[in-house]
Structures are given as C-alpha cells and as structure tokens.
Amino acid sequence: MTAADSDSRSDLKAFVADRSDLLEEVVKFAVTGGSGLVANLALLYVLVETGTIPERYAAIVSTLVVLLGSFALTNWWVFTDADVSNSQSGLLKRGLSYYGIMGVGKLVNYGIYLGLLAVDVWYPLAWFVGSALVFFGTFSMNRLLWYRSD
C-alpha cells in the first residue's frame, strides 16, 4: 500500500464519519421535531375540538407552547458534538437565534396550513404537511447556528 492509498483511505473514513454524524443529527432532530409535532397536534386538536380557539389561531397557540420545550431538547440532545458555550449568555444567544429560525419556519408552515385549510384539508393533516415541508430548512439553519464559530 502506498502513502497515497493510505491518505485516500483516511479521507474516506473521515468523509464517512462526517456523514454518519450528520445522519445521526438529522435523525435526532426528526425525533425531537416528531415529538414536538405530536404534542403540537394534540394541543391543536384539544383547542379546536373543545371550541376554545378557532383552528386558524389554535395553530399559533399550540406552536408557541411546544417551541418552549423543543429548544431545550435540541440543545441538550441533538447537536451534542457542537463546541458551544452553555454559559448564560451563550445559551441566551443560541436560544434567541433558535427561536428566530424556528419562527421563520413556523411562519412558512402556517402559510402552508392556511392554504390547505382554504381548500378544505383536515386541519391536523394541513399542519403535518406544512411541518414536513419546512423540516430540512429548519434543520439546516439550526445546524449552522450550533456549529458556527463565534
């Protein structure tokens, strides 16, 4: 085996390891987002079906409630390899950025939701479709947030 072969194998191992870490983060983000989606849909259903809030506004309320827990889970479990400061100021800065990213994602999701409601799609399905469509955008932006150098 030549030195070039050894370098190629090392490069390949590094490439595979990087992709494995990325896949693990995607899966963890999906699990976190999926649990948030289930909680969001459950609260949305309760708010609408009890007549508490109309479906177009219930989605806003349920989203705001669920986002409170999703940041903690994302910070603690999803991006564990990120070299981030867990100081109070580092956590606050990351939290505000996270809510900004997720806020934009949820606005896009809400627009899709309203569009689907307008064509009589069942409201839980409309919310699910919007969530699925914005998943990779919010994952990508959050990954950049956690791994950027300050």
**Alpha-carbon distance 8 to 3, whole Å?**
9
Structural domain including 61 reads 3-147
16 CB-contact burial (10 Å; exposed 0-12 / middle 13-18 / buried 19+): exposed
> What pLDDT, in 10s, does the model give residues 29-84?
999 999 999 999 999 999 999 998 999 999 999 999 999 889 989 888 888 777 77
Q: What average pLDDT does the structure give for the chain? A: 87
Task: Give the residue from 55, 144, 50, 29 showing the smallest Cα distance to 97.
Answer: 144
Number of domains in the chain: 1
Per-residue CA distances from 132 to 5, 17, 66, 139 (Å): 42, 27, 16, 11
In this prediction, residue 2 carries a pLDDT of 66
**Alpha-carbon distance 68 to 70, whole Å?**
6
Amino acid at 92: L
